[in-house]
Amino acid sequence: MEATRMPLIGDRFPTLEVMTTQGKKCLPDDYKGKWFVLFSHPADFTPVCTTEFVAFQKRYDEFRKLNTELIGLSVDQVFSHIKWVEWIEEKLGVKIEFPIIADDTGKVSQTLGLIHPGKGTNTVRAVFIVDPQGIIRAILYYPQELGRNMDEILRMIKGFQVSDKHGVAIPANWPHNELVGDEVIIPPATDVETAKKRLQEYDCYDWWFCHKKL
């Protein structure tokens, strides 16, 4: 029997039927035409995970402006998820509006490579960014003890959308890059003639490092 492997960047997101706090969903088909961020957390009713859910919810409108939905996941049962989001709303005044997958069998986590034995039996803090065609564009992993930076996840989606629309690359710390500011990178030339033209067409450090404003 052929061994299965965890999905990689550039793969289609695996077809999965999941139970969530908002009913059954089929991934990625239920999100066709939208970007989505699937993120796993180690456990309900834990401090770092609670801060993450509040942080995601506080930025939910920003994600939706980017045609992006959020989906949480852990190996807790759906009853635990429901009670936890009730607690968050009651105690912290934040209503969690996005669905949370209840993976109490561990099947989804196994498929996506979310359980790392060296870090225990709970899911690590994984992030999958999936585009409107169901293709995985980025995968991030964080250990249980380190909460995520949601602004970076937003930045990544903005960067992917700019790159896809304009055929450019995104520099480090964009849009506050230390060399080119909020400008974007022109893909390297692949022939001598184009390389020569680049120096006249764009601002360049050299023919292989040219940039422009959008």
Q: Can you give the CATH number for the domain in which 90 is found?
A: 3.40.30.10
* Residue 204 is a catalytic residue: no
Is 44 found in the same domain as 140? yes
AA identity, residue 182: D
pTM above 0.85, yes or no: yes
Range of the domain at 200: 167-214
Q: Choose the catalytic residue: 26, 49, 204, 210.
A: 49
One domain for residues 20 and 78: yes
The H or E element spanning position 206 is: strand 203-206
Residues 144 and 177 in one domain: no
pLDDT tens for 46-75 read 999 999 999 999 999 999 999 999 999 998
* 125-130 and 136-142 beta bridge pairing: antiparallel
- Torsions phi, psi for 204 (to 5 deg): -140, 145
pLDDT digits (tens, 9 = 90+) for 160-203: 999 999 999 999 999 999 999 999 999 988 899 999 899 999 99
At 183 the pLDDT is: 98
Higher pLDDT, 39 or 113: 39
183 in a domain, yes or no? Answer: yes
CB distance 41 to 52 below 8 Å: yes
Q: What is the CATH number of the domain that holds 173?
A: 3.30.1020.10
If asked whether residues 39 and 118 sit together in one domain, one would say yes
CA distances from 209 to 179, 181, 198, 214 (A): 11, 14, 9, 16
